[in-house]
Amino acid sequence: MLGLLLTSLVGFLLVVWISNRFHLLVYLGLAFPIGISAQTFGTFIWNFSGFGFGLTSIVLINLLIILVALVGIYSKYKPTSINGLFQANLKSTLGEITLPSLFFFGLSTFVVYAISVKSMFWPTLGIDSLTSFDLYAKALAAESTLLN
């Protein structure tokens, strides 16, 4: 859960660093994809630099990206408060939740639920793509490197 929150926070801060004029739903929608991309790239650079990776290094990478994003946001916008950071009125955008945004939020929630239920209650097979990815992840975790 901490990983999902850190990843979403990284993505949110990076999107705010790009522009402070987006709609609130754009910030929320892009937070996780941008965050997971930044985390993946940071992990690759970390590992390519010769360091092994694990839970501690991933948290450190996320905290480093958060620090860089906060410094970038401060130097770009020089906000005096949180309300002064955003040019769009965030309170008025909450009333603009549409049916497609609810549908995609529900679809994302269902996919996370379905994967969790499948992993918890049904044994995975050796030919399952999730299992093969899981085996690759276990090998990476055991070796602590991408460079074999």
Give the predicted TM-score (pTM) of the model.
0.62
Let me know: does 39 contact 10? Beta carbons within 8 Å. yes
pLDDT-above-90 percentage for the chain: 11
pLDDT at position 51 is 84
pLDDT at position 121 is 74
Residues 6+ apart with CB under 8 A from 119: 130
